[in-house]
Amino acid sequence: MKTVLMSLVMVAVIGAAGYDSTGNSKSKAAVDAAENWLALVDGGQYSASWDQAAALFKNAVTKEQWIQALEAARKPLGKNVSRKLKSAHYCSSLPGAPDGKYVVIRFITAFANKKSAIETITPMLDKDGKWRVSGYFIK
């Protein structure tokens, strides 16, 4: 299942992204969308997180596959204790993904059973003009 989770993340090959300190509203809206989506995942609402994901995400994995992947990846970590924005980087091209509008976001996260992790989450601007998550990876 970790393979499914990792295959969704087109940003795994991207190195440390610099924080988009330009005050770019694209990045701010994408970070807000990512935080709202992560709240669903933190609350164990894996089905709802799939429902709220980008079309690209939904086309890559079924809801059942996503639920299984998250149960395998997140449950052993325990509850989210803290999460701090490390970086947000706007880009229009990512390896293995169609060109579009993406923000690669990295959070420094602590879980009950893992004190230090990096969550990389990639919202994209969906066809309806809303930022939705297209990839998620925990390291």
Q: What is the pTM of this model?
A: 0.82
pLDDT tens string 6-62: 334 433 333 333 344 434 566 899 999 999 999 999 999 999 999 999 999 999 999
CA–CA distance, 133 with 126 (Å, rounded to integer): 9
The yes/no answer on whether domain 2-12+23-138 falls in CATH 3.30.365.10 is: no
Helices and strands in the chain, H and E counts: 5, 4
The helix or strand, by DSSP H or E, that contains position 56, with its residue range, turns out to be helix 55-60
Asked whether the beta carbons of 122 and 106 are under 8 A apart, the reply is no
Asked whether the beta carbons of 122 and 132 are under 8 A apart, the reply is no
Q: Where are the domains of the chain?
A: 2-12+23-138
pLDDT tens string 86-131: 999 999 999 888 999 999 999 999 999 999 999 999 999 999 999 9
